[in-house]
Amino acid sequence: MHISEGVLSPPILAVGAAIAVGGTWLGLKQTKAHQVPLMAVLTSAFFVASLIHVPIGPTSVHLVLNGLVGILLGFGAFPSILIALLLQALFFQFGGIIVLGANTTNMALPAVIVYLLFKRMCISPKRGLRLLGGFLAGAMAIFLAAICVAMCLFFTGDNFIAAAKTVVVAHIPIMIIEGIITAIVVDFIWKVKPEMLNIATR
């Protein structure tokens, strides 16, 4: 779901950068030393998951895992996703440096939102509620990310309205897949290392 360089208007780039800077500052401020290894692992997972992508106009479709990153890191999702996107831009020219702020906001803001909405469900001792929370977190994170990308394109100009609609529709299968993956991973972590699910609230 990377937006390429030269697509977005300066005002959209500025807003995206401002949110990314603010979110990253808040994420780093709340990150404890013992969270750094987990953040590194999730940054790597995000990096690898979104390497295989299918281009669709000015953006692309691929696994993201931002819902899982959000549930485990909370506001730490901002620096985690920022680093992964920066490395992708430097090594593989996915997205770009100028559009880095907007791309980070599009992925990390939904991660924080699902953390706030579904964290309690994901740490529930009731397995059904836990699985539902994980599924909703994974699916909703992709949906919100697609909406963010679509809004960036929509407010950039009329030429991208069709592309904005395509972005949302194209990510419907990804929403379901990510919902299932996130639910399975959350349930597994709760069974074998439940402290990881509480790490963002310590």
pLDDT at 58: 55
pTM: 0.88
Please spell the DSSP secondary structure of 98-132, one letter per residue: TTHHHHHHHHHHHHHHHHHHHHHHHT-SSHHHHHH
CA 85 centroid distance within chain: 10
Q: How many residues does the chain have?
A: 202
pLDDT, tens only, 54-91: 665 555 567 889 999 999 999 999 999 999 999 989 98
Domain ranges of the chain: 10-198
Task: Name 56's bridge partners.
Answer: 59
Whether the CA torsion 57, 7, 142, 68 is positive or negative: it is: positive
So what's the pLDDT on residue 150?
86
- How far is the CA of 109 from the CAs of 5, 77, 99, 148, in angstroms? 20, 8, 15, 9
Amino acid code (one letter) for 139:
A
Residues 143-182 have pLDDT tens digits of 999 899 888 988 887 676 777 777 778 778 889 989 999 9
pLDDT for res 166: 76
CATH topology of domain 10-198: Arp2/3 complex 21 kDa subunit ARPC3 (1.10.1760)
pLDDT surpasses 60 at 200: no
